[in-house]
């Protein structure tokens, strides 16, 4: 049975995000696509803390403080939004941070720009590792944490994207917000709608799915993967949902087959690698609605949504909410590529 907000067993959290974020109609883009289109503006959760990661960090960093940590460790790509948000949020809470960031050649790391510059400005330590080492990041986490403990520090490890059973509660709260947002729309909650978002580690999708089940949100939740493939995300999202249900004893009817929907095929050249047509669509959204998508996550997901709608205008139903999960700083390292399409 759907629960009221008072009955939802939220873990402790710290206040970091500027929420609730607005739900905005995108009439011009919606008219082009032939749908009723809205955007949930989670790019407005903060200035430096912009994006979806801060919602998850509210819960994860509350646990870090409860555990007495003085430094947090996390990981991601070179221009990781999650790493940037973690570095800044940790500093706000009086914690230090160490980031494991992947790059092809750690001896020649990327330039100090975009998220990397913000990481450093926030005082974070960066440990550059190769893509092969990144596959063994849990081992590296333990090595780094062990060394820190021996030096008298109290480390706390945050997984990629803060996408675990704890961090995903941030998107249970977002599902509650969406329930309230719908009250002001024509048709309200009675008419079904589809939420489309970028999937990079699975925690946002898991939180939305569990949140919809807990609140009775009448939504189909679709993830457009920006890395890996559909099977990977069925496993990743499914595991987080199942971990949440087990750890917090949630009485929910969940199955991977019924509740998880992944639209594959839009990874393109690879994670954080852009195609001209993806950047051209980011440009179109910016000049049409004054909204900036990012090339790593939201740009790819929006591109995937548009391509699917061009094949079948009815594939997502009549009402669509695109969840803008932030990432504006990821545009800055793409300046030379973007210049080619301006």
Residues forming the active site: 80
Among 266, 340, 342, CA closest to 300: 266
C-alpha separations of 255 from 198, 200, 236, 241, 294 in Å: 21, 21, 13, 9, 31
CA distance 14 to 29: 36
Q: Where would I find the H helices in the chain?
A: 27-33, 53-66, 81-92, 114-121, 131-134, 137-150, 169-182, 203-215, 230-247, 256-259, 276-289, 298-311, 335-339
Contacts of 277 (CB under 8 A, 6+ apart): 303
* Angle of CA points 171, 122, 60, to nearest 5°: 30
Among 114, 135, 300, CA closest to 225: 300
Instruction: Let me know how long the chain is.
Output: 342
The alpha-carbon radius of gyration of the chain (Å, integer) is: 19
Would you call 323 helix, strand, or coil by DSSP? strand
CA distance 243 to 164: 8
Please say whether the beta carbons of 188 and 219 come within 8 A. no
Torsions phi, psi of 270, nearest 5?
135, 175
Can you read off the two tokens belonging to residue 128?
């550059």
Element at 133 (helix H, strand E): helix 131-134
Please say whether the beta carbons of 55 and 61 come within 8 A. no
């Amino acid at each position: 049975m759907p629960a009221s907000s008072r009955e939802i067993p939220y873990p402790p959290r710290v206040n970091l995000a500027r929420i609730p974020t607005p739900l905005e109609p995108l009439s011009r883009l919606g008219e082009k696509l032939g749908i009723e289109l809205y955007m949930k503006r989670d790019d407005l959760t903060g200035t430096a803390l912009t994006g979806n990661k801060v919602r998850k960090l509210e819960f994860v960093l509350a646990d870090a403080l409860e555990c007495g940590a003085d430094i947090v460790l996390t990981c991601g790509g070179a221009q990781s939004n999650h790493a940037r948000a973690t570095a800044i949020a940790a500093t706000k809470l009086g914690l230090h941070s160490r980031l494991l960031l992947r790059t092809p050649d750690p001896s020649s790391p990327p330039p100090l720009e975009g998220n990397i510059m913000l990481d450093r400005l926030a005082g974070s330590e960066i440990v550059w590792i190769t893509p092969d080492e990144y596959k063994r990041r849990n081992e590296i986490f333990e090595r780094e944490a062990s060394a820190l403990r021996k030096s008298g520090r109290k480390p706390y490890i945050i997984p990629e994207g803060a996408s675990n059973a704890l961090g995903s509660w941030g998107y249970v709260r977002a599902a509650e917000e969406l329930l309230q947002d719908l009250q002001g729309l024509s048709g309200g909650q009675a008419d079904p709608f589809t939420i489309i978002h970028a999937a990079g580690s699975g925690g946002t999708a898991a939180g939305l799915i569990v949140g919809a089940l807990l609140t009775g949100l009448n939504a189909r939740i679709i993830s457009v993967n920006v890395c890996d493939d559909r099977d990977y995300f069925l496993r990743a999202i499914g595991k987080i949902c199942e971990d949440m249900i087990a750890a917090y004893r949630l009485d929910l009817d969940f199955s991977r087959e019924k509740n998880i929907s992944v639209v594959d095929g839009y990874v393109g050249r690879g994670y954080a690698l852009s195609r001209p047509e993806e950047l051209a669509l980011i440009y179109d959204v910016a000049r049409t609605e004054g909204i900036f998508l990012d090339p790593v996550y939201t740009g790819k997901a929006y591109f995937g949504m548009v391509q699917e709608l061009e094949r079948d205008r009815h594939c997502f139903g009549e009402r669509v909410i695109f969840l803008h999960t932030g990432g504006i700083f990821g545009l800055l390292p793409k300046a030379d590529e973007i210049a080619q399409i301006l």
